[in-house]
Amino acid sequence: MAETTSEFMYELLKKMHERFDKVDFAPELKSEVNNMRGTMVAMQGDLHNIYGILGRHERLDRIEHRLELRELAEPQKPFDHTT
């Protein structure tokens, strides 16, 4: 077994102390990660809303297309969507 000296132990303890000093920033990092998570959740909600709006537009496009097809099939005056 290797012989340990007091200098070796002192250096080891110094390195451990440096590592524990870095751990003190953990609450700060945790809050930053939570903020990023909140931002990502908000972005996900925004995307969900955008997809919902696009779905409604697609549905309106289909309805409009059906009305135009019906308009061509019936011998009536054309549908005026400006009124």
pLDDT band at 28 (very low <50, low <70, confident <90, very high): confident
Q: Does the CA dihedral 24-29-35-37 come out positive or negative?
A: negative
82 φ, ψ (degrees, to nearest 5): -85, -15
How high is the pLDDT of residue 81? 74
How high is the pLDDT of residue 76? 62
The mean pLDDT of 36-59, rounded to a whole number, is 93
Element (H, E) at 70: helix 26-73
- Identify the three-state secondary structure at position 3: coil
Copy the structure tokens of residue 51.
């997809």
Residue 1, pLDDT above cutoff 60: no
pTM of the model: 0.47
- Residue scoring higher pLDDT (33 or 81): 33
How does the average pLDDT of the chain come out, rounded?
A: 81
The answer to whether the beta carbons of residues 56 and 63 sit under 8 Å apart is no
